[in-house]
Amino acid sequence: MPKFENSQIVRHTPRQMFDLVSDVERYPEFLPLCQRLVVRSRKERDEKMLLIADMTVAYKMVRETFTSQVLLKPAEREIDVKYVDGPFRYLENRWMFRDHPDGCEVVFFIDYEFKSRTLGLLMGSMFDFAFRRFSSAFKERADEIYKSNPAASDQPA
């Protein structure tokens, strides 16, 4: 049951980082292994947004698509991801964006297990690498997008 948690300080605001991670449709542009991401539905309720999204990950000859429920909580600056369907037995993912004197503390957590032992052996080490790389991929993306405006005001986008 692989599990990974990382905390990283970035020089951008919590709101900027929340907005960046919330923009799931852009993941294929910069996220390791993410080949495609399609949002099937969006529902807004109580100032929160619930997305149902299909993410296709690929490595060499292996390609898998899984469906997740993504709950965007802008007021709390948190994102909770719950697994719906695909090659995993379970997958839980959480992002938290906290104020920090140097900008923002980004906390990333993921816990998952593949349904198939074979797929786990085949893709497990690549997923471990990719998940460990997620935090830095988002930091690099934020540096690129917000380069002219680091740690700007925390106003909604």
Torsion sign across C-alpha atoms 70, 131, 4, 116? positive
CA dist 122 → 61, 80, 144 (Å) = 11, 27, 33
Residue 155 confidence (pLDDT): 46
pTM for the structure as a whole: 0.85
Fold of the domain built from segment(s) 3-145:
Alpha-D-Glucose-1,6-Bisphosphate; Chain A, domain 4 (3.30.530)
Taking the domains of the chain in order of start, what are their residue ranges? Answer: 3-145
User: In terms of pLDDT, which residue wins out, 24 or 118?
Assistant: 24
Spatial neighbors of 97 by CB under 8 A, at least 6 apart, are 14, 15, 17, 18, 21, 77, 78, 104, 105, 106, 107
Question: Would you state the structure tokens that stand for residue 80, as one six-digit string?
Answer: 């909770």
In the chain, the percentage of residues whose pLDDT exceeds 90 is 59
Residue 153 confidence (pLDDT): 44
Q: How do residues 19-43 score in pLDDT, each as one tens digit?
A: 999 999 999 999 988 999 999 999 9
State the alpha helices, DSSP H only, in 23-146: 117-145
